[in-house]
Amino acid sequence: MKNIIYIMLFSCVLSIFTTSCDNETEMLFDETASQRKTAAVEHYQETLKNSDEGWLFQYFPDKEMQYGGYSYVVKFDENDSVAVWYEGMNDLTAPAVSFYDVISYGGPVLTFNTYNPFMHYFATPSGAEYNAKGGDYEFLLMSSENDVITVQGTKTGNKMRLTKMTEPAEDYIAKVKEIAGFLGGASFNVTVNGEDVSAQEMNRNFTFEYTDNGNDTSIVVPYIVTDTGISFYEPVEIQGQSYQDLVFNEQELSFSSIQGNLSIQLVVAPVNLTSAPWSLDIVGDNTCSDTVFNTFVEIYNANAQVWGEQLAPTVKMGGVRVDLGDIGISFYSYPGPYRSHYNLSFSGVPNQPDYLDIAKVSEGFNWSYYTHLGVFVDVITDNAPYQVEMDDEQNPSTVKLTSVGNADVWFVLTLD
């Protein structure tokens, strides 16, 4: 018995030592981790520099992409410096130059490591925006193939693309700015397979609302302006069809999908009231119809009754306080004066180039104290759209709006 125990112990010890002697560890890679890291960094250094016209960088700041996307062109040179073009720049011949580097940080990372007013625009904080606009300036380099480098923002995690440019940066950015110019201030008439889809646009995000198999669906789609139209951040499925790139037609003022049948028709207002304040002088000569005048008298009396204040007989409309984002209608109540504001939208009407639609958006500054003025706002919005007559088609300073549905409602606005 004892012998058996010894033999077992002996074989056990023997087996441990013999197996522990295997030194033949197989290397998974031919190079050390450090060598591979350096090789990856060098690969991207070379790739980035290897483009005469630079790279188109389709940049999406913010985790939620609430500002949509912006086009940059970045041109890397031998001396660690990078020239940056951006669609927000005015002089396209003057790119902003700063330094860049490709560093290793859990993978190769492209970093813009000295300040560049364009590249860091969405990342620069202020007292009001201590988190800036959530822009990245360091990007994990994920892959490069077929002249496209895929990167990921280290802060937002947003995936973005650098595409090798084949034309000068100025030319590309100029085309982007031109198309972006058409989008500003327009409203949109969207159809999918010929059916109307409700669409709102704000900060380069479209909100589409439609019915899919009987379900009310609402999707928010960030987009970027390209040299030929617009491109959604990622493919969007609407009623079973996938959409991403839309081509702009300047004659028809429309964007059409390459695949499927999505069309976005721009509806441009006949007059832009939103970039400056306009005045409606209630007691002026021939400045408003009796209906408008009488409604004003009604709210004037209501205001005296509620607050014992006098309502100023000049009502402000349009871009009342553009600095505060107050677009709509404002009333002034004396003494004070106290301003109360209701946000309105001023937009075009499809197929009616002379019509202006005015619609309620939301209650604004001080409105909760002055809800008794709402009757006047109701008259303005309930009788929209309006036929627009201007003193000067190019630079109007006086505009007469006459309700299309009710000839008894009209008023004249004068540019402040």
Partner 1 sequence: MNKNRITYWLMIAIIMVTVGACTEEEGPNPNVSVITVESKTQNAFDKYLDEIYRKPYNIRFMYKMEDIESDMDYQLVPALYENSIKMANLVKYLCLDAYEDVAPDGFLEKYFPKMIMMVGSPAYLNNGTMVLGTAEGGLKITLYNINNLDVTNAAALYRYYFRTIFHEFSHILHQTKDYSTDFDKISATDYVGGSWDDAWDSGSSLEAGFISDYSSKETDEDFVELIAHYITNSEEAWAEKMEAAGENGSAIIGEKMAIVKAYLKQVWDIDIDKLRASIQMRASKLGEQDLDKITIE
When asked if residue 107 is in the footprint of partner 1 (CB under 8 A), the reply is no
Q: Which of 1, 3, 325, 368 touches partner 1 by CB under 8 A? A: 3
Residue 52 CA to residue 46 CA, distance in Å, equals 12
Minimum distance of partner 1 from residue 91's CB (angstroms): 19
| Closest CB 4 distance from partner 1, rounded Å | 12
Determine if 334 is a binding residue for partner 1 (CB under 8 A). Answer: no
Contact string (CB under 8 A) for partner 1, positions 51-90, x = contact = ----------------------------xx----------
Q: What is the DSSP string of 313-371?
A: SEEEEEEEEGGGTEEEEEEEEETTTEEEEEEEEEEEETTEEEEEEEEEEEE-TTGGG-G
Return the biggest CA–CA distance within the chain: 126
User: CB–CB of 101/90 below 8 Å?
Assistant: no
41, 160, 221, 399: residue in contact with partner 1 (rule CB under 8 A): 41
Q: What span, in angstroms and rounded, lies between the C-alpha atoms of 103 and 96?
A: 22
Among 50, 64, 77, 105, binds partner 1 (CB under 8 A): 105
Q: What minimum distance in Å lies between the beta carbon of 374 and partner 1?
A: 35
Task: Work out the number of other CB atoms within 10 angstroms of the CB of residue 181.
Answer: 11
Phi, psi angles (nearest 5°) of residue 363: -70, 145
**99/338 with CB nearer partner 1:** 99
In the list 1, 130, 240, 393, the residue contacting partner 1 (rule: CB under 8 A) is: 130
* Backbone angle region of 310, left / alpha / beta, with phi > 0 → left and psi within -120 to 50 → alpha: beta
Is position 94 an interface residue for partner 1 (rule: CB under 8 A)?
no
How far, in Å, are 4, 309, 327, 356 from residue 324 at the CA level? 94, 25, 9, 23
Q: Determine, following the binding rule CB under 8 A, whether residue 25 of this chain makes contact with partner 1.
A: no
What is the distance between the alpha carbons of residues 29 and 315, in angstroms, rounded to a whole number? Answer: 75
Among 4, 47, 84, 154, the residue binding partner 1 under the rule CB under 8 A is 154
Residues binding partner 1 (CB under 8 A): 2-3, 6, 9-10, 13-14, 17-18, 20-21, 23, 32-35, 37-38, 41-42, 79-80, 98-99, 101, 103, 105, 109, 111-115, 120, 123-128, 130-132, 137-138, 154-155
